[in-house]
Amino acid sequence: MPKPSILDEEPYVPNVPDLDKLNMTIIEWIEEAIIENPEGDYMSSERDRGAPTNVALDEEDEYWTAIARSLNDEQVVAFRERFWELNRITSILNQFRIKTEPNYLTKKDTRAYIERRAKDGFNSWHAMREIRDGKLVHQQ
């Protein structure tokens, strides 16, 4: 008799831990699970792009889908609110990250550079491209 294939096994059914016992909400638990492995490909769509079938990824997909489908309306609303909050935080952190770039100019510096380049005979689009590319022309 042939050995059963791993593909023939029943899908993995996840069990969320007793969150009351852990004094956590489902959202806090999901965040903690992701924070513990931030490089995880939890919702990877590689399998949808023609990648070879990976049973482990399929089981992980089943796991997270089952958890997502188990959320009640209140938890879905809380999840969406937390998602938008984290999105806003990400946006603000990205704005700060941009300021660390060596070619970043403040708005005041940008206006002054564009005005200076206009006096040199260049239009604002040209000056903005120089700023974006980090190829500023210094005064002589």
Assigned token pair, 123: 């239009």
pLDDT digits (tens, 9 = 90+) for 14-49: 567 888 898 999 999 888 888 877 766 656 555 455
Q: Which runs of consecutive H residues, i.e. helices, occur in 7-106?
A: 19-22, 26-36, 55-70, 73-99
Q: Mind giving me the DSSP string for 64-88?
A: HHHHHHH--HHHHHHHHHHHHHHHH
Burial of residue 92 (number of CB atoms within 10 Å: 0-12, 13-18, 19+): exposed
CA angle 7, 2, 4 (to 5 degrees): 25
Q: 86-113: per-residue pLDDT in tens?
A: 999 999 999 999 999 877 889 999 999 9
Predicted local distance difference test score (pLDDT) of residue 38: 73
Whole-number Å distance between alpha carbons of 126 and 48: 42
**CA gap 9, 31 in Å, rounded:** 29
* Residues of the chain above pLDDT 90, percent: 42
Q: Is the predicted pLDDT of residue 54 greater than 60, yes or no?
A: no
Q: Distances from the Cα of 21 to the Cαs of 13, 16, 24, 53, 115, in angstroms?
A: 21, 12, 8, 37, 63
pLDDT at res. 47: 47
